Structure 1
Amino acid sequence: MDRLKVVIPKLRIALKAYEATLLNNSCQQILQAVKGENSLKVIGPVPLPTKRRIYCVLRSPHVNKDAREHFEIRTHKRLIDIYKATETTLENLRNLDLPAGVDMEIKNV
Protein backbone atom coordinates (compact mmCIF):
# COMPACT_ATOMS: atom_id res chain seq x y z
CA MET A 1 0.00 0.00 0.00
CA ASP A 2 1.33 3.44 -0.92
CA ARG A 3 2.21 5.74 1.87
CA LEU A 4 0.38 9.07 1.82
CA LYS A 5 2.59 12.11 1.63
CA VAL A 6 1.88 14.38 4.58
CA VAL A 7 2.44 18.04 3.77
CA ILE A 8 3.22 20.39 6.62
CA PRO A 9 2.07 23.92 5.67
CA LYS A 10 4.87 25.82 7.41
CA LEU A 11 7.98 24.95 9.40
CA ARG A 12 9.85 27.62 11.32
CA ILE A 13 13.46 26.95 12.27
CA ALA A 14 14.91 29.21 14.96
CA LEU A 15 18.70 29.14 15.38
CA LYS A 16 20.74 30.65 18.23
CA ALA A 17 24.49 30.79 18.75
CA TYR A 18 27.16 32.85 20.46
CA GLU A 19 29.37 32.89 17.34
CA ALA A 20 27.99 34.37 14.11
CA THR A 21 30.26 32.29 11.84
CA LEU A 22 29.02 29.00 13.31
CA LEU A 23 25.46 30.22 12.92
CA ASN A 24 25.92 31.20 9.26
CA ASN A 25 27.55 27.85 8.45
CA SER A 26 24.66 26.03 10.12
CA CYS A 27 22.16 28.03 8.05
CA GLN A 28 23.98 26.98 4.89
CA GLN A 29 23.87 23.32 5.98
CA ILE A 30 20.12 23.56 6.56
CA LEU A 31 19.54 25.18 3.16
CA GLN A 32 21.60 22.43 1.47
CA ALA A 33 19.57 19.71 3.26
CA VAL A 34 16.28 21.27 2.20
CA LYS A 35 17.37 22.20 -1.34
CA GLY A 36 16.82 18.69 -2.75
CA GLU A 37 13.04 18.98 -2.91
CA ASN A 38 11.55 21.13 -5.65
CA SER A 39 8.10 21.85 -4.20
CA LEU A 40 9.48 23.74 -1.21
CA LYS A 41 9.58 27.47 -0.74
CA VAL A 42 12.32 28.59 1.65
CA ILE A 43 12.55 32.07 3.15
CA GLY A 44 15.64 32.93 5.10
CA PRO A 45 17.92 32.99 6.88
CA VAL A 46 16.47 36.16 8.37
CA PRO A 47 18.84 37.78 10.89
CA LEU A 48 17.17 38.87 14.11
CA PRO A 49 18.58 41.51 16.48
CA THR A 50 21.63 40.43 18.47
CA LYS A 51 21.11 40.30 22.23
CA ARG A 52 23.91 41.70 24.40
CA ARG A 53 24.17 40.62 28.02
CA ILE A 54 26.65 42.70 29.98
CA TYR A 55 28.02 41.45 33.29
CA CYS A 56 29.73 43.75 35.78
CA VAL A 57 32.26 42.07 38.10
CA LEU A 58 34.30 43.56 40.93
CA ARG A 59 38.03 43.23 40.25
CA SER A 60 38.91 42.65 43.87
CA PRO A 61 36.18 41.76 46.32
CA HIS A 62 36.20 43.33 49.80
CA VAL A 63 38.15 46.45 48.63
CA ASN A 64 38.11 48.97 45.79
CA LYS A 65 34.43 49.13 45.01
CA ASP A 66 35.22 51.42 42.06
CA ALA A 67 37.45 48.92 40.24
CA ARG A 68 35.17 46.83 38.02
CA GLU A 69 35.37 44.79 34.84
CA HIS A 70 32.64 44.43 32.24
CA PHE A 71 32.08 41.29 30.18
CA GLU A 72 29.47 40.72 27.50
CA ILE A 73 27.91 37.76 25.76
CA ARG A 74 26.28 38.29 22.37
CA THR A 75 23.53 35.91 21.24
CA HIS A 76 23.00 35.87 17.47
CA LYS A 77 19.68 34.59 16.06
CA ARG A 78 18.40 33.54 12.63
CA LEU A 79 14.99 32.40 11.34
CA ILE A 80 14.29 30.13 8.38
CA ASP A 81 10.73 29.45 7.16
CA ILE A 82 9.95 26.42 4.99
CA TYR A 83 6.59 26.21 3.23
CA LYS A 84 4.96 22.95 2.06
CA ALA A 85 7.44 20.70 3.85
CA THR A 86 7.05 16.92 3.76
CA GLU A 87 8.00 14.13 6.17
CA THR A 88 11.27 13.57 4.31
CA THR A 89 12.19 17.24 4.74
CA LEU A 90 11.60 16.98 8.46
CA GLU A 91 13.65 13.78 8.61
CA ASN A 92 16.54 15.44 6.74
CA LEU A 93 16.50 18.31 9.23
CA ARG A 94 16.56 15.93 12.20
CA ASN A 95 19.54 14.03 10.79
CA LEU A 96 21.69 17.15 10.38
CA ASP A 97 24.92 17.26 12.36
CA LEU A 98 25.19 20.86 13.55
CA PRO A 99 28.14 22.24 15.56
CA ALA A 100 27.99 22.09 19.35
CA GLY A 101 27.49 25.85 19.82
CA VAL A 102 24.32 26.10 17.71
CA ASP A 103 20.83 25.60 19.15
CA MET A 104 18.15 24.64 16.60
CA GLU A 105 14.42 24.66 17.34
CA ILE A 106 11.88 23.43 14.76
CA LYS A 107 8.26 24.53 15.11
CA ASN A 108 5.20 23.57 13.11
CA VAL A 109 3.44 26.92 12.66
Structure 2
Amino acid sequence: MKITEGNKIRIKLRSYTHYLLTESCKTIINTAKTTNTKSSGTITLPTKRKIYCVLRSPHVDKDSREHFEIKSHTRIIDIYEPSSQTIDYLMKLNIPAGVDIEIKL
Protein backbone atom coordinates (compact mmCIF):
# COMPACT_ATOMS: atom_id res chain seq x y z
CA MET A 1 0.00 0.00 0.00
CA LYS A 2 1.75 3.11 -1.22
CA ILE A 3 0.78 6.43 0.27
CA THR A 4 1.75 9.61 -1.53
CA GLU A 5 2.55 12.86 0.21
CA GLY A 6 -0.30 15.28 0.76
CA ASN A 7 -2.73 12.57 1.80
CA LYS A 8 -4.51 12.66 5.09
CA ILE A 9 -6.45 10.28 7.25
CA ARG A 10 -9.64 11.59 8.83
CA ILE A 11 -10.77 9.64 11.88
CA LYS A 12 -14.31 10.29 13.10
CA LEU A 13 -15.18 8.92 16.54
CA ARG A 14 -18.70 8.62 17.96
CA SER A 15 -19.83 7.50 21.39
CA TYR A 16 -22.60 7.89 23.95
CA THR A 17 -20.09 8.32 26.81
CA HIS A 18 -17.66 11.21 26.56
CA TYR A 19 -14.93 9.81 28.80
CA LEU A 20 -14.45 6.71 26.61
CA LEU A 21 -14.22 9.06 23.65
CA THR A 22 -11.51 11.25 25.19
CA GLU A 23 -9.46 8.20 26.22
CA SER A 24 -9.54 6.78 22.70
CA CYS A 25 -8.65 10.18 21.19
CA LYS A 26 -5.62 10.41 23.49
CA THR A 27 -4.40 6.97 22.42
CA ILE A 28 -4.74 7.84 18.73
CA ILE A 29 -2.84 11.12 19.15
CA ASN A 30 -0.12 9.40 21.20
CA THR A 31 0.42 6.79 18.47
CA ALA A 32 0.64 9.56 15.87
CA LYS A 33 3.28 11.31 18.00
CA THR A 34 5.35 8.15 18.41
CA THR A 35 5.56 7.71 14.63
CA ASN A 36 6.46 11.41 14.08
CA THR A 37 3.46 12.38 11.95
CA LYS A 38 1.54 15.63 12.04
CA SER A 39 -1.93 15.53 13.49
CA SER A 40 -4.50 18.19 14.14
CA GLY A 41 -5.90 17.55 17.58
CA THR A 42 -9.33 16.60 18.66
CA ILE A 43 -12.03 18.66 17.02
CA THR A 44 -15.24 18.42 19.00
CA LEU A 45 -18.47 18.54 17.06
CA PRO A 46 -21.74 19.55 18.73
CA THR A 47 -23.46 16.84 20.72
CA LYS A 48 -26.67 15.52 19.23
CA ARG A 49 -29.61 14.96 21.54
CA LYS A 50 -32.47 12.59 20.84
CA ILE A 51 -35.42 13.03 23.16
CA TYR A 52 -38.07 10.33 23.48
CA CYS A 53 -41.47 10.98 25.06
CA VAL A 54 -43.19 7.98 26.66
CA LEU A 55 -46.64 7.75 28.26
CA ARG A 56 -46.46 6.57 31.87
CA SER A 57 -49.86 4.96 31.83
CA PRO A 58 -51.11 3.62 28.50
CA HIS A 59 -54.84 3.89 29.21
CA VAL A 60 -55.78 6.51 31.81
CA ASP A 61 -53.56 9.58 32.11
CA LYS A 62 -52.66 11.14 28.80
CA ASP A 63 -50.97 14.11 30.50
CA SER A 64 -48.53 12.02 32.54
CA ARG A 65 -45.42 11.52 30.42
CA GLU A 66 -41.72 10.78 30.86
CA HIS A 67 -38.91 12.16 28.74
CA PHE A 68 -35.70 10.26 28.03
CA GLU A 69 -32.72 11.56 26.10
CA ILE A 70 -29.65 10.07 24.46
CA LYS A 71 -26.62 12.27 23.80
CA SER A 72 -24.14 11.27 21.09
CA HIS A 73 -20.70 12.88 21.21
CA THR A 74 -18.46 13.11 18.13
CA ARG A 75 -14.79 13.98 17.64
CA ILE A 76 -12.60 14.35 14.54
CA ILE A 77 -8.85 13.76 14.28
CA ASP A 78 -6.83 14.50 11.11
CA ILE A 79 -3.46 12.84 10.51
CA TYR A 80 -1.39 14.42 7.73
CA GLU A 81 1.11 12.54 5.55
CA PRO A 82 0.86 9.16 7.28
CA SER A 83 3.51 6.52 6.72
CA SER A 84 2.88 2.78 6.53
CA GLN A 85 4.13 2.46 10.11
CA THR A 86 1.45 4.84 11.43
CA ILE A 87 -1.28 2.93 9.60
CA ASP A 88 -0.04 -0.35 11.09
CA TYR A 89 -0.05 1.13 14.60
CA LEU A 90 -3.54 2.59 14.12
CA MET A 91 -4.91 -0.77 12.97
CA LYS A 92 -3.48 -2.51 16.06
CA LEU A 93 -4.97 -0.06 18.60
CA ASN A 94 -7.17 -1.36 21.38
CA ILE A 95 -10.24 0.92 21.38
CA PRO A 96 -13.09 0.45 23.93
CA ALA A 97 -16.27 -1.28 22.76
CA GLY A 98 -18.53 1.79 23.18
CA VAL A 99 -16.69 3.87 20.55
CA ASP A 100 -17.59 3.83 16.84
CA ILE A 101 -14.73 4.64 14.46
CA GLU A 102 -15.02 5.82 10.87
CA ILE A 103 -11.77 6.21 8.91
CA LYS A 104 -11.49 8.02 5.58
CA LEU A 105 -8.30 8.12 3.52
TM-score normalised by the chain length of structure 1: 0.89
> Which structure: greater strand fraction?
1
Match of 2:14 in 1: 16
Deviation above 2 Å: which 4+ runs of structure 1? 4-8
Matches of 1:19 and 1:75, distance apart in 2: 8
Q: How many residues align?
A: 104
C-alpha root-mean-square deviation of aligned residues, in Å?
1.5
State how 1:27-66 maps to structure 2 within 5 Å: 27-38=25-36, 40-66=37-63
Q: Is the 8 A contact 2:56 2:64 kept in 1?
A: yes
Q: Which amino acid aligns with 1:20?
A: H
What percentage of residue pairs aligned between the two structures are identical? 53
Structure 2: tracts of 5 or more residues without a match: none
Please state how far the C-alpha of 1:7 moved relative to its aligned partner: 3.7
TM-score normalised by the chain length of structure 2: 0.92
Structure 1: tracts of 5 or more residues without a match: none
SS at match of 2:104: strand
